[in-house]
Amino acid sequence: MSEHFLAHEQLHVYPKSVAFAEFAGGLIDTWPTRWAVRNQLDRAMESIITNLARSARYQRTDQGIYLLECSLGSVLECAACLDVAQCRKLMGDSEVVQGKGLLQEIARMEVGLRKSWQEPMGVREESAVYAAGEKQFFNHESLDVYQRSLQLHGVLGEIFTGEKSEHRYARRIDESSTSLTLNIAEGNGRFSKRDHATFADAAEDAATKLSSYLDLVAANWGLDVGQTKSQLREIMAMLEGLKGYLQS
């Protein structure tokens, strides 16, 4: 009697996703709970698997393709989580490269799967190019606004050190800056301009919250946040321009 497989268990990309979940789980267990990126990576890596499994139930339908795109968006969110974790000094270069390598394989296979589900004949799981350049794994890494958001984490570094690092303002700044970067990355993987614009708006909202918390830090702690606010304004202007392009 042949072994019965569920629909998602027949996808070649599914065990790749499980392998990344094992990798990510090992990282998460070593990170302090105070960092927002810890919960974000945990949620996003589970979203890759659950949305992929659900998409296989519907396959070549609008619902199946939408769920597959959600899984792909979570792949990009995980990649951005690794960048943020590196900015927080939670990961080294070799770990980031290993994790992104796994995620790039998943992204390529999911893009190929999406393409095959949109074709009239058969379900073919093939690879598709999903990389921005020789030193980059994903297209969002080539965006200036994404790189500016990563630079912002470096400027924010002093807020996360010393006696104020456990303060609620530090936690809110960590959450807002992490959300800013992750929404830029995930939005860039959306095939619909409307969906992309929604994530750009979420990134802009996170930047607005971050700006407010920086004002609170300046008022209560006496920190000079002028340089940080200047960089943040540039990022918000880029996001506004991106939204205008996507909505036109």
- Domain containing residue 190: CATH number: 1.20.1440.60
Q: Are residues 126 and 165 in the same domain?
A: no
* Residues 150, 135 within the same domain: no
Judge if 113 and 172 occupy the same domain: no
| Same-domain status, 178 and 94 | no
Residues 93, 182, single domain; the answer is no
Structurally, the chain folds into a number of domains equal to 2
Same domain for 183 and 125?
no
Q: List beta partners, residue 247.
A: none
Tens place of pLDDT per residue across the chain (248 aa): 345 578 888 899 999 999 999 999 999 999 999 999 999 999 999 999 999 999 999 988 999 999 999 999 999 999 999 999 999 999 999 999 999 999 999 999 999 999 999 876 444 444 444 555 557 899 999 999 999 999 999 999 888 887 888 899 999 999 999 999 999 999 999 899 999 999 999 999 999 999 999 999 999 999 899 989 999 999 999 999 999 998 88
CB 34 within 8 A of CB 117: no
Question: Quick one: 2 and 123 in the same domain?
Answer: yes
The boundaries of the domain holding residue 102 are 1-139
Let me know: does 79 contact 45? Beta carbons within 8 Å: no
Same domain, 129 and 148: no
The residues facing 136 across adjacent strands are 133
Domain end among 104, 139, 174: 139
Examine the fold and report which residue of 85, 109, 139 is the final residue of a domain before the chain moves on. 139
* Cβ-contact 36, 68 below 8 angstroms: no
In a shared domain, residues 19 and 125: yes
Q: How far is CA 99 from CA 20, 21, 33, 75, 144, in A?
A: 7, 10, 20, 11, 22
Residues 95 and 206 in one domain: no
pTM for this model (two decimals) = 0.91
- Torsion of Cα atoms, 104 then 109 then 113 then 114, to 10°: 10
Q: Are 157 and 211 within one domain?
A: yes
**CA–CA distance, 136 with 144 (Å, rounded to integer):** 13
Last residue of a domain, one of 80, 106, 139: 139
